[in-house]
């Protein structure tokens, strides 16, 4: 048997062994998913099996399980009359992908606000007063027996009332509801805050839908 023939036979044998190993590994994974999902070897079954596996591992308890979510930040994708399609980021790693887009309804009771930059001179004056108070608080006198309440720095924007017509596509908005909207595809907003800056293309929303502390 020539050297060339020996190499060919060895190569075929190696490919055959690799095929067996890969096939066994694939079958093992398929069997594991099938066992976890009750025998339904489908994408949805695999998804449910992954969520169950995550829950069993204890990682799910580190998320938002049990918390109420009453506000979301997202990007306005479409506006139809009093209905907004809002693009948000997942609240949890394995959250339902259908909830990446929410339908926000605007009622007659929905309050809409927009943020505008404050006049530079006004903001400068407020900052000077804030710094003065901070210095006074850092130099307690003998008359001061208890710590003063925390001093809040001035906002560099002002919040003003707005209308539905002020809502535009690609805007970043904060939506507040009266109910728990964690798993709600469609809900009515009691307040919508227009952030005043469009979402930059190709960079994604600056944490859209990323939950801020729930409104209690």
- Residues 114-146 pLDDT 10s: 988 888 888 899 899 989 988 887 876 655 555
User: What pLDDT is recorded for position 60?
Assistant: 53
Do 109 and 167 lie in a common domain? yes
Do 114 and 176 lie in a common domain? yes
Is residue 191 in a domain? yes
Read off the pLDDT of each residue in 155-162 and give the average, rounded to a whole number: 87
Q: How many domains does the chain have?
A: 2
Do 102 and 178 lie in a common domain? yes
Do 22 and 114 lie in a common domain? no
Is residue 131 in a domain? no
User: What pLDDT is recorded for position 174?
Assistant: 94
Rounded CA-CA distance 45/35 in Å is 10
Do 9 and 113 lie in a common domain? no
CA angle (172, 175, 179) in 5-degree steps: 160
Spatial CA neighbour of 189 closest among 115, 113, 109, 114: 109
User: CB under 8 Å to 155, separation ≥6 — which residues?
Assistant: 118
% pLDDT > 90, the chain: 33
Band of the pLDDT at 22, cuts 50, 70, 90? very low
User: What pLDDT is recorded for position 145?
Assistant: 52
Between residues 96 and 187, which one has the greater pLDDT? 187
Within the chain, strands assigned E span: 71-80, 83-87, 101-117, 157-161, 171-177, 186-198
Are the C-beta atoms of residues 64 and 197 closer than 8 Å to each other? no
Do 166 and 189 lie in a common domain? yes
Read off the pLDDT of each residue in 65-88 and give the average, rounded to a whole number: 91
Range of the domain at 111: 67-118+156-198
Do 184 and 79 lie in a common domain? yes
Between residues 72 and 207, which one has the greater pLDDT? 72
Do 42 and 97 lie in a common domain? no
Rounded CA-CA distance 70/191 in Å is 11
């Amino acid at each position: 048997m020539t050297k060339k023939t020996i190499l060919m036979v060895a190569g075929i044998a190696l490919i055959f062994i690799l095929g067996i190993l890969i096939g066994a590994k694939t079958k093992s994974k398929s069997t594991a998913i099938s066992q976890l999902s009750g025998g339904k070897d489908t994408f949805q079954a695999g998804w449910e099996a992954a969520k169950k596996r995550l829950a069993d591992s204890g990682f799910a308890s580190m998320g938002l399980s049990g918390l109420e979510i009453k506000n979301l930040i997202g990007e306005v994708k479409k506006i139809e009359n009093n209905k907004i399609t809002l693009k948000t980021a997942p609240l949890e790693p394995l959250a339902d992908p259908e909830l990446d887009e929410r339908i926000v309804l605007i009622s007659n009771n929905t309050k809409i606000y927009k943020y505008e930059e404050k006049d530079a001179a006004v903001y400068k004056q407020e900052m000077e007063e804030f710094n003065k108070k901070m210095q006074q608080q850092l130099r307690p006198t003998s008359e001061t027996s208890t710590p003063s309440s925390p001093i809040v720095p001035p906002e560099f924007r002002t919040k003003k009332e707005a209308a539905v017509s002020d809502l535009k596509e690609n805007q970043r908005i904060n939506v507040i509801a009266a109910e728990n909207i964690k798993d709600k595809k469609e809900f009515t907003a009691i307040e919508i805050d227009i952030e005043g800056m469009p979402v930059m293309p190709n960079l994604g929303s600056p944490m859209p839908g990323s939950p801020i502390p729930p409104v209690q």
